[in-house]
Amino acid sequence: MEEKERKEKFCTDSGIEIKRVYNKLSMADEQPGEFPFTRGVQETMYRSKLWTMRQYAGFSTAEESNKRYHYLLNQGTTGLSVAFDLPTQIGYDSDHEFADGEVGKAGVAIDSLRDMEILFDGIKLENITTSMTINSTASILLAMYIALAKKQGADLKKISGTIQNDILKEYAARGTYIYPPKQSMRIITDIFEYCSKEVPKWNTISISGYHIREAGSTAVQELAFTLANGKAYLKAAIEKGLDINVFAKRLSFFFNAHNNLFEEVAKFRAARRMWATITKELGATDSRAQMLRFHTQTGGSTLTAQQPQNNIPRVTIQALSAVLGGTQSLHTNGYDEAIALPTEEAARIALRTQQIIAYESGVAETVDPLAGSYFVEALTNEVEAAAWEYIHKIDAMGGSVAAIEQGYLQNEIAASAYKYQNEIQSGEKIIVGVNKFTVEEKPMQNVFSIDDAIRQLQKDKINKVKADRDNEKVKVLLKTLEENAKGTVNLMPTILEAAENYATLGEMADVMRGVFGEFVG
């Protein structure tokens, strides 16, 4: 007699039905490092070089964040990932009235080049890769980073890293936008053009599914909406006259990793195959321009404040899915991040999780270890097919910008988030320690917190910068930025010169606000 199964139907988090057993499929004889890159973008993958182990850090003042960076580098981190506070993200200096209560809370406060100098004090930019999670003000923060590299005497042809610079997902999911979509796309393509000539190793955009997923999307929606946004950036750059075989090499992606291990692996494998097809259809002939390279961060929205140590195995499963899926870079969340910014202990455990996977698990010793699994191959195909359905709908609307303006992406994400929460509340979806296997808990001790007094410290620094700089020169440069914003000239050289002369982030953002206006979602 056949045993009764626990559920009538088993599904992935995207609603794809999981069969009881998978039999052999007719699979193409693909190899890693070859089009369409389903099995990885390098022939040898981690047998030659492990993924970059990043830890996302940034809080309070530049001085405090600098201490954490040195700690992480001493612990074996191989790349820095900078978090900026909310005022910095939306173009306000720390002394602006809108910054009250938010300075240094969600990340580090950067008001001028002086803060950037402090942030990387004692760290040679030529020797590290830096990822900066910044979008609306990406041009300004990148300019400050380049200005610092120049002050250090670095060869700009050698500095490498990534700015997120993905404004479309801000309109769809996250909300830290400033300017309307078309003007934002203009700034982004200016960055593409400038960096391709002046900072050729810099990844000029990290097209982000991470925040789409954090807002409540499914894995399929994360994949589809991210690639649709990527397609919009490709088309905008091509319309500007840029060569897809040049600029597409500097695009990277940023994905989320959640708990459904096999669906996440399938998502990463499908993403490479789909992007290779998209770039080829838009004219890319260089294989490096067809490759989807991506950074992964474990799922912030999966972390629970209840029984926070349960987050350690969650993060382990998520990190493992990213490695099995072929990530190029990985950040693992601290187990206490559902409560506050991570303590040093939590950050160390998160990094050690990656190191144990890399050096003890054996999964890095062969390329695409789950290839040939009937389940994984079938699921890769199904995730891909479901994602193409979304992309075709978005294309029919006129692409991502039009779909966002019509509210399509936002509504789809909201519907998925609502469904997921209902499943948790009904008990259909079990979250260990939240709606099952609960215990009475005492409040967590040693929670990391930010002192509100740092706003005054930042104000004092801004006042000193303005007292020490050549204010007449800054005034002229800001006027030049205003005139250039009204025209079609590339804005990056003017932003860089203004940054080098200690114009503040808020001053530059306000000039562009005055020309471009602000987007009201």
pLDDT digits (tens, 9 = 90+) for 370-409: 999 999 999 999 999 999 999 999 999 999 999 998 999 9
DSSP SS3 for 293: coil
Res. 290: pLDDT tops 70? yes
Confidence of residue 460 (pLDDT cuts 50, 70, 90): very high
CA–centroid distance for 149 within its chain: 23
Residue 325's alpha-carbon distances to 40, 44, 74, 405, 426, in angstroms, are 8, 14, 28, 33, 32
User: Average pLDDT of 10-38?
Assistant: 83
Q: Which residue has the tokens 């057993």?
A: 21
Confidence of residue 28 (pLDDT cuts 50, 70, 90): low
User: Which pairs count as long-range contacts for 17-20, CB under 8 Å and 24+ apart, including other chains?
Assistant: 18/375, 18/379, 19/378
Side-chain half-sphere CA neighbours of 124 within 13 A? 6
DSSP per-residue codes, 42-103: SSSGGGT-PPEEEEEE--SSHHHHHHHHHHHHHTT--EEEEEB-HHHHTT--TTSGGGTTTT
User: Average pLDDT of 480-498?
Assistant: 98
User: Average pLDDT of 418-444?
Assistant: 93
Q: Tell which wins on pLDDT, 307 or 71.
A: 307
Res. 484: pLDDT tops 60? yes
Residue type present at position 493: P
Res. 58: pLDDT tops 80? no
CB 257 within 8 A of CB 299: yes
- Which token pair is 349? 């455990």
User: Average pLDDT of 211-232?
Assistant: 97
Q: What are phi and psi of 64, to 5 degrees?
A: -70, -40
362-376, 408-422, 434-448: the lowest-pLDDT one? 434-448
Residue positions counted in the chain: 521
Confidence of residue 57 (pLDDT cuts 50, 70, 90): low
- Between CA 422 and CA 429 the distance in angstroms is 9
504 DSSP 8-state letter = -
